[in-house]
Amino acid sequence: MRRFPSSKHFSRRTAMGLIGAGLAAPYVRPSYAQGAWPEQTSIPDILKGSGELRIATFGGTMQETQVKAYFEPFEKISGIKVRYFPGTSAPKVKAMVETGNVEWDVAQLSRGSIMNLQKQGEYFEKIDYSLIDDGVGKEFRFEYGIEMLVWAQVLAYRTDAFKGAVPKGWADFWDTAKFPGDRALLGTTGGGWPELEFALMAAGVPADKIYPIDIDKAFASYDKIKKSVVKWWDTGAIPIQLLTDREVSMTSVWNGRMAALQAAGVPADISWGQGLSKRDAWGIPKGAKNAANAMKFVAYSTMAIPQARVAWGIPYGSVNIKSNEFIPEARQAVLPSAPAIKSQLVNYDYDWWIENREAVIGRFNKWLLG
């Protein structure tokens, strides 16, 4: 991996000291009562540069938030032009690296996708953790990527569908007599992984007994809901559209996608109980043309203030513990990383899925056609 040029005037200790201290106060402390959000006007020289940076994202509301929280501020204060593209996926990264035509410098993926692909060969650059703020916990760090976002995969429902009744978990999702209507669940066509955890909890498996997953039991549970699933979705926009158009009464969904729907007045809500706590990560594809700029961006985006701005823009949690200083308590109360919500979620076991993903996907695709 190409490294940053060293400077005898700017050591790692100096860099981390400035970052940890808020960069010697280069921000305007927000006035939450006035609706301001945290600003940052400078970064260490080691994170500045020239040229460009190409970032692949999942698009949608998340990308809109990233533009304001990460991309535009980083471009302004680093001198590096940021270009961004929706449509990130591990298969695309794989194809780019294998053909030597690497069009992206940074890809937003899951930890599992990065580690699963890395098992097959050298597809990502190592992360230079000497540049990462010490507010980012060890649990979010791994060799070929860095987690930068905490989110949840949850049950969403139309509030006008059940005469005031509220589904409390996946047993209710599976109960089409008590909660009538069509359903939607995540499929595999877009590189997704089946939601076996939800199938098991619907079958009565306690949250703390989900892993290791009993695959046979999960598919037996899937058999009971299959006829009611009108869509096995593959992109985050689909369940939101299905709820908006009244095509389903319940669906699994990424929690952040619900914010725009609710803001538009669609009668829909989240049931947090038994959701999956997940994380997104940045990966730098092997052979990226702007790998040095990519690492600078990765370091910047996981600093406290950029992380806080994301939480302001979309209800996803931060990986930098220092961000809480810049997030109002009212906002923290709707984040998947907030204690009251986190306690209702199941920690997603990426390690189990890395070992079993291919077998499960093969079985799921065959089951779906049966």
pTM over 0.85: no
Q: What is the pLDDT of residue 144?
A: 98
Q: What is the pLDDT of residue 209?
A: 97
pLDDT per residue over 170-180, tens digit each? 999 999 999 99
Q: Residue with structure tokens 């940076």? A: 53
What 8-state DSSP symbol labels residue 290? T
pLDDT per residue over 289-310, tens digit each? 999 999 999 999 999 999 999 9
pLDDT category of residue 315 using cuts at 50, 70 and 90: very high
C-alpha 38/C-alpha 122 separation (Å) is: 38
Question: Max alpha carbon distance in the chain (Å)?
Answer: 70
Burial of 181 (0-12, 13-18, 19+ CB in 10 A): middle
In 3D space, the residue among 193, 189, 166, 344 whose CA is nearest the CA of residue 249 turns out to be 166
Q: What is the pLDDT of residue 7?
A: 32
Residue that wins the pLDDT comparison between 94 and 30: 94
Token representation of residue 273: 């109980």
- Arithmetic mean of pLDDT, 348-357: 92
Beta strands in 65-205 (DSSP E): 81-86, 106-110, 141-142, 145-158, 183-186
Q: What is the pLDDT of residue 9?
A: 32
pLDDT category of residue 24 using cuts at 50, 70 and 90: very low
Q: What is the pLDDT of residue 341?
A: 93
- Arithmetic mean of pLDDT, 23-48: 62
- Arithmetic mean of pLDDT, 70-80: 97
pLDDT category of residue 117 using cuts at 50, 70 and 90: very high
Domains and CATH numbers, the chain: 38-150+279-342 (3.40.190.10), 151-277+350-369 (3.40.190.10)
Q: What is the pLDDT of residue 36?
A: 65
C-alpha 5/C-alpha 182 separation (Å) is: 57
Phi, psi dihedrals of residue 310, rounded to the nearest 5°? -60, -45
What 8-state DSSP symbol labels residue 25? S
Strand-pairing partners, residue 184, are 231, 251
Q: What is the pLDDT of residue 193?
A: 87
pLDDT per residue over 224-242, tens digit each? 999 999 999 998 899 999 9
Residue 208 pLDDT > 90:
yes
pLDDT per residue over 140-161, tens digit each? 999 999 999 999 999 999 999 9
Helices (H), the chain: 12-20, 60-66, 72-78, 90-99, 111-118, 170-174, 196-202, 215-225, 237-244, 258-263, 291-301, 304-313, 329-332, 339-342, 350-369
